[in-house]
Amino acid sequence: MISKEEAIRIAKEYINERKRSYLYVKEEKTYLETSEVLYGEKDLGEEHDMWIVSYEVESWDVPIPHFVHIKAETGEVYYTMTQHGYAEDWEEDEDGNLIDEEETE
């Protein structure tokens, strides 16, 4: 099982690889829980120990929290939950490949 510090490092790398703008990762709000996989094809509906790493994005009045879900056993990122759904929905095509914003403009 990966440590809390390792989960935070993985989440930061994941956020940066996807070129997401964010204010900060809330390290004190990182926690381990057993939860159902709610998104994606891998392990959907199954329960796993997951690190939940919170980070906040800028908004016009208060920061908006987003939550990176990482499988504690392997360190694999499963998804990012936001108030509008899953960030991967607007970052990936139907095959799971990252969409390059520069190519779509």
Domain contains 55: yes
CA distance linking residue 78 with residue 57, whole number of Å: 19
Reduced to 3 states, what is the DSSP secondary structure of residue 98? strand
DSSP state of 39: S
* pLDDT at residue 96, as a whole number: 66
Q: What is the DSSP string of 62-91?
A: S-EEEEEEEETTT--EEEEEETTEETHHHH
Q: Is residue 80 part of a domain?
A: yes
What's the domain range around 66? 4-99
What pLDDT shows up at residue 104?
Answer: 45
At residue 37, what are phi and psi to the nearest 5 degrees? -75, 120
Q: Provide the number of structural domains found in the chain.
A: 1
CATH number, position 72: 3.10.450
Per-residue model confidence (pLDDT) at position 90: 80
Closest CA to 26 of 61, 51, 60: 51
Q: Is residue 105 part of a domain?
A: no
Q: Minimal CA–CA distance to 34: which of 16, 19, 46, 17?
A: 46
Mean pLDDT of successive 10-residue stretches along the chain, which has 105 residues: 97 92 90 94 93 92 93 96 90 71 49
Is residue 104 situated within a structural domain?
Answer: no
